Amino acid sequence: MLSRTQQKALKRIVGEGRFLTDEAARSVYAFDASGLSGTALAVCFPKTTEEISKLLAFCHNDGIPVYPRGAGSGRTGGAVPTVPGIVVSLERMNRVIEVSQKDMLTVVEPGVITGDLQGLVMRHGLFYPPDPASLSFCTIGGNVATCAGGPKAVKYGVTRDYLLGLEAVRADGSVLTLGGRTVKASSGYSLKDLMCGSEGTLSIFSRITLRLIPRPVAEGVMFACFSSPEGAAHAALEIFSMGLVPRTCEFMDRTCSRLVTREGGFPVDQETLGAMLILESDGSPGSVADELDAMKVACQKAGSFYSKVAESCEESNTIWSLRRTLSQRVRQLGYPNKVSEDIVVPRGRLPEIVGRLEAIERHFGIKIVSFGHLGDGNLHVNVLYHGDRENELIDEVIDSIFRETLKLSGRVSGEHGIGLTKRKYLTWELDVVTLGTMRGIKDLFDPKAILNPGKVF
């Protein structure tokens, strides 16, 4: 509970209407897309760095837990108020402050929606590639905090690769100015890179500078069908071994590829269909056509029995909208419960990981569907179940998925972060010295542990 004095002080900092304690607000801001929820004592909507700084200084002094929040689309419970505390929603800090064609960068507030920013910079002839499938509702602040990736990461990299500068408020309210407007720098430790992926545990970002690149003039999409997931994984390896770097290389397993081809009305034999790749190319019109042709050949070499290049914008939009909504579509398979995990393995181990996922499904008799950014070794593995008897098995199934991932030199998160749900698995991945060093960094930035407590460790 916040005392009346605390409530008054917090309300004074952000102003009437931007400090909410009503039941509805507290419950709406108490959960995220992981499905987990906690207890929000209040929700604040700061609009300036100064307000964030004052909020944090007050909470630091009074020992009140603070939970930074973007759009709450995180998959691991990162924005959930685990110990009762204050949710600081950055959604009203949503201004694009600058788009500079000369410096090829943009300066934004953290609450800007990723897809909106992409659309805006495109109108300036520029390109911001990181494209989480949630781009129509997630925020740039959340993307930086989780180091979000997406389909285009295979060619263009993840959020960290575009982060040039950051204004970040520490737990005691002091403000850090990190990085800047230059594309390179060797001036001391790169704290902005440390902040990227820190999941709201080290600071709250109040202003973000992002690198932009020239907008490619042409793009093309194709998909290729295989009789097995291993076939699709081998095709991805074949593509890279030919020296090609597709703009996207997305994988769908048996269940997902059947859903997508059926709903898209593509004439693919459902019985034979065991997996599918969506491949994209961008560049100049000539290079795109050549690259798509070469990728088609690579897929055929790896056993693809059907492939199709999208012939119109409409057709490519259909393919992408089916892919982007897969997470919701698997819910239509009739299983009331779903746990979504995010794993990543070195590219060379892709055929093994897809085989092992199938083996886990068979061994436990639990439905597993996977899809994701195969081109950079990153898969989203969804465990579907009814409840009752299966409930007891789920932890074992998930443990097996992470165990097999680590055996293949993989990592327990490719892009969603650790949050609440993966803390156990982080201790499987990292040795005690590394974990201890990370904890030391957390203590340095947040000695009273008020910033997003209970996350990551």
Ligand X SMILES: Cc1cc2nc3c(=O)[nH]c(=O)nc-3n(C[C@H](O)[C@H](O)[C@H](O)COP(=O)(O)OP(=O)(O)OC[C@H]3O[C@@H](n4cnc5c(N)ncnc54)[C@H](O)[C@@H]3O)c2cc1C
Residues that bind ligand X (CB under 6 A): 32-33, 67-75, 78-79, 90, 110, 132-134, 138-139, 141-143, 145-146, 148-150, 199-200, 204-205, 327, 415-416, 452
Phi, psi (deg, nearest 5) at residue 378: -105, 120
> Strand locations in 70-214, DSSP E?
85-89, 96-100, 105-108, 126-127, 163-169, 175-179, 204-211, 213-214
Which of 74/303 has CB closer to ligand X? Answer: 74
Which of 74/410 has CB closer to ligand X? Answer: 74
Which of 308/373 has CB closer to ligand X? Answer: 373
Query: How far apart, in whole angstroms, are the C-alpha atoms of residue 241 and residue 226?
Result: 19
Which of 281/421 has CB closer to ligand X? Answer: 421
Helix 388-407 to helix 350-364 angle (10° resolution) is 160
Select from 363, 377, 364 the least CA-distant residue to 414: 377
Query: How far apart, in whole angstroms, are the C-alpha atoms of residue 304 and residue 428?
Result: 37
Query: How far apart, in whole angstroms, are the C-alpha atoms of residue 184 and residue 361?
Result: 46
Query: How far apart, in whole angstroms, are the C-alpha atoms of residue 19 and residue 17?
Result: 6
Q: What is the widest separation between alpha-carbon atoms in the chain?
A: 71
Which of 260/288 has CB closer to ligand X? Answer: 260
| Residue 342, beta-bridge partner list | 380
Which of 68/303 has CB closer to ligand X? Answer: 68
Output the smallest distance, CB 290 to ligand X, in A.
28
Which of 34/307 has CB closer to ligand X? Answer: 34
Which of 80/239 has CB closer to ligand X? Answer: 80
Output the smallest distance, CB 274 to ligand X, in A.
23
Query: How far apart, in whole angstroms, are the C-alpha atoms of residue 14 and residue 247?
Result: 43
Select from 30, 13, 12, 14 the least CA-distant residue to 22: 30
Whether 427 and 439 have beta carbons less than 8 Å apart is answered as no
Query: How far apart, in whole angstroms, are the C-alpha atoms of residue 457 and residue 454?
Result: 7
Q: What is the Cα gyration radius of the chain?
A: 22
Select from 108, 190, 193, 285 the least CA-distant residue to 128: 108
Select from 164, 128, 129 the least CA-distant residue to 150: 129
Quickly count: other Cβ atoms within 10 Å of residue 244's Cβ: 17
Output the smallest distance, CB 209 to ligand X, in A.
14
Which of 312/328 has CB closer to ligand X? Answer: 328
Output the smallest distance, CB 371 to ligand X, in A.
10
Output the smallest distance, CB 154 to ligand X, in A.
12
Output the smallest distance, CB 297 to ligand X, in A.
28
Output the smallest distance, CB 68 to ligand X, in A.
4
Query: How far apart, in whole angstroms, are the C-alpha atoms of residue 116 and residue 136?
Result: 7
Select from 309, 237, 224 the least CA-distant residue to 274: 224
